[in-house]
Chains A and B, each alone.
Chain A
Amino acid sequence: MLTELLNKDTIQIANEVDNWQDAIRLASAPLLQQNKIENRYIQAMIHSIEEHGPYVVLTPKVAIPHARPTEGVKALSMSLLSLQKPVLFGPDKPVFLIFVLAATDSESHLQALIDLTQVLYEPTQIDNIIACQHSDDILKNLKQYSTEERKS
């Protein structure tokens, strides 16, 4: 399921960004373009971190910004921004990979998240993804962790 949400249209690689807010805006751009989220969802993700701190940095180098389904999500979607130079989400929270999560309810996104956790258990796998220069290479890395979508 992970690679159904993350594909060449939703994975971006950039050299660097000025700050974590810009990282979230840039990472979200494909979802905004595809009409999967509204602009206010981006604001909600930024506001959530301003309010609660950088808790979206789940593990070193990786952030999974997200807000609530009611804050402007039109369709279940994810995007990834990989940065060559890290951006600080907090004083000691440098981040290279930003996975934007847009969920429409509290259930449908869970398989993709479970897939993603399998990637993030391995610090070397995180470094492998950061080292990728093309989104195709990132996809190859992610594919081995993606489960088939369950058809019920």
Chain B
Amino acid sequence: MKILVVCGNGLGSSFIMELNVKKALTELGKTAEVTHTDLASAKAEKADIYIGAGDIVEQLDERKGKIVSIVNMMSISEIRSKLEPLF
């Protein structure tokens, strides 16, 4: 399972969210490969799950993988509840 955290520049918000996705996975007792990148690179990279702010991930083609849109990127519980059904 590969999870790609996506933001506009791949520097700030996606890094913070990568930390939070890893915390959410730990809480769920799940393991996955988690990395972060910018939107342009994400379009060319294959992953099982693409996760990020709605404004960003909605620009991805949903045929590529599952797309998870997060409102509060600091909320581990939101991330956890949206990832849980996908495992």
Overall SS of chain B's interface: mixed
Inter-chain CA distance A106–B7, complex, in Å, is 13
Most chain-A CB neighbours within 10 Å: which of B12, B13, B75?
Answer: B12
- Contact A68:B13 (CB < 8 A) given known A55-B56, A58-B74: no
Complex partner residue of A58 from B8, B11, B16, B76, CB under 8 angstroms: B16
Inter-chain CA distance A131–B16, complex, in Å, is 25
B53 on the interface (CB 8 Å rule)?
Answer: yes
- Contact A53:B55 (CB < 8 A) given known A58-B16, A120-B74: yes
Minimal beta-carbon separation of B76 from chain A (angstroms): 8
Minimal beta-carbon separation of B69 from chain A (angstroms): 11
Complex partner residue of B13 from A55, A109, A110, CB under 8 angstroms: A55
A150 on the interface (CB 8 Å rule)?
Answer: no
B9 on the interface (CB 8 Å rule)?
Answer: yes
Overall SS of chain A's interface: mixed
A147 on the interface (CB 8 Å rule)?
Answer: no
- Contact A67:B13 (CB < 8 A) given known A52-B55, A53-B55, A120-B74: no
Inter-chain CA distance A58–B7, complex, in Å, is 11
Chain B residues positioned under 8 Å from A48 (CB to CB): 8-9
Contact assessment for A117 and B11 in the assembled complex, using a CB-CB cutoff below 8 Å? no
Contact assessment for A101 and B8 in the assembled complex, using a CB-CB cutoff below 8 Å? no
Contact assessment for B74 and A110 in the assembled complex, using a CB-CB cutoff below 8 Å? no
Contact assessment for A55 and B74 in the assembled complex, using a CB-CB cutoff below 8 Å? no
Chain B residues positioned under 8 Å from A55 (CB to CB): 7-8, 13, 52-56
Complex partner residue of A67 from B9, B52, B72, B76, CB under 8 angstroms: B9
- Contact A52:B11 (CB < 8 A) given known A117-B19, A121-B74: no
Q: Which residues A41-99 have CB closer than 8 A to chain B?
A: 48-49, 51-56, 58-60, 64, 66-69
A29 on the interface (CB 8 Å rule)?
Answer: no
A114 on the interface (CB 8 Å rule)?
Answer: yes
A-B contact pairs, 7 of them (CB 8 A): A55-B54, A58-B13, A59-B75, A66-B13, A68-B9, A113-B15, A116-B16
Which 5 pairs of residues, A with B, have the shortest CB-CB distance?
A53-B55, A55-B53, A59-B74, A52-B8, A66-B12
| Chain A residues packing against B (C-beta within 8 Å) | 48-49, 51-56, 58-60, 64, 66-69, 101, 103, 106, 109-110, 113-114, 116-117, 120-121
